């Protein structure tokens, strides 16, 4: 599903231009990596494995179908303090990658209102994630590592908070395994909102979810280098 709506009318020689605002933008490709997976969830989510199937569903909207983590109720308990709601892409293990996706937070406002993206995922006790939280603190709006212990922030750069509302937003994660860098983008695809450097996990699975809130996801594109 593509919600990008733009209209440009050029009248030569008057050079009049009419532009209709974009609902949520297409990101510019930042790395010359091949597309290894993409989905708009119109054909379902058979390639995805959630920690709890009962908290995820394909939801029909006016614009098409989205992958919805629609309820925070659940019984999954991670082995260490870390997000409860994770859905991973099956059979896709990457080294360097770029993940682009549209996300809509569906939880009421509060300080830790969030959506999370997961990468370098080895197992439930070892992975990275970015927590896009409404207000930043040591446990919110940071890049984290879970490495056989409670989540630990590794961000070298972040922002005062992620400006959640009830609209769609575009998120990008870039992981360069050779440089060990992590960059997170939110709506503005030119300037990262978060950065980190870590060498613990140089490959792994990718996923979507939240710490303990709800969110809808759509228009996912993954570019990268597959694990041999």
Q: Give me the average pLDDT of each 10-residue run along the chain (228 residues).
A: 44 36 41 91 97 95 96 89 96 96 96 97 98 98 98 98 97 97 98 98 98 97 91
| Cα–Cα distance, 141 to 56 (Å, whole number) | 23
Predicted pLDDT of residue 30: 52
Both tokens assigned to 1: 């599903």
β partners of residue 121: 205
Predicted pLDDT of residue 14: 36
Q: Which of 94, 91, 133, 89 is nearest to 114 (CA)?
A: 133
Predicted pLDDT of residue 10: 38
What is the CATH class of 27-226? mainly beta
Predicted pLDDT of residue 228: 75
C-beta neighbour count of 207 within 10 angstroms: 24
Predicted pLDDT of residue 203: 97
Q: Please check whether residue 138 is in contact with residue 153, taking contact to mean a CB–CB distance below 8 angstroms.
A: yes
Q: Which of 159, 54, 160, 41 is nearest to 89 (CA)?
A: 41
Q: Please check whether residue 149 is in contact with residue 127, taking contact to mean a CB–CB distance below 8 angstroms.
A: no
Helix (H, G, I), strand (E, B) or coil at 158: coil
């Amino acid at each position: 599903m593509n919600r990008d709506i733009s209209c440009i009318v050029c009248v030569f020689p008057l050079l009049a231009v009419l532009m209709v605002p974009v609902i949520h933008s297409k990101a510019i490709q930042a790395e010359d990596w091949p597309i290894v997976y993409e989905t708009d969830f119109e054909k379902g989510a058979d390639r995805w494995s959630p920690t709890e199937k009962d908290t995820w569903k394909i939801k029909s909207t006016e614009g098409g179908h989205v992958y919805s983590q629609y309820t925070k109720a659940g019984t999954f308990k991670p082995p260490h303090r870390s997000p409860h709601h994770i859905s991973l892409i099956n059979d896709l293990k990457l080294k360097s990658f770029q993940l682009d996706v549209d996300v809509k937070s569906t939880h009421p406002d509060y300080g830790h209102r969030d959506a999370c993206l997961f990468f370098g995922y080895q197992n439930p006790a070892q992975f990275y994630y970015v927590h896009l939280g409404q207000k930043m603190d040591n446990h919110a709006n940071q890049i984290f590592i879970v490495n056989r212990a409670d989540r630990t922030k590794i961000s070298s750069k972040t922002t005062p908070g992620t400006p959640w509302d009830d609209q769609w937003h575009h998120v990008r994660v870039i992981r360069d395994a050779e440089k060990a860098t992590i960059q997170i983008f939110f709506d503005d695809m030119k300037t990262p909102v978060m950065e980190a450097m870590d060498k613990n996990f140089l490959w792994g699975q990718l996923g979507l979810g939240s710490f303990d809130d709800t969110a809808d996801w759509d228009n996912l594109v993954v570019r990268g280098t597959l694990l041999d």
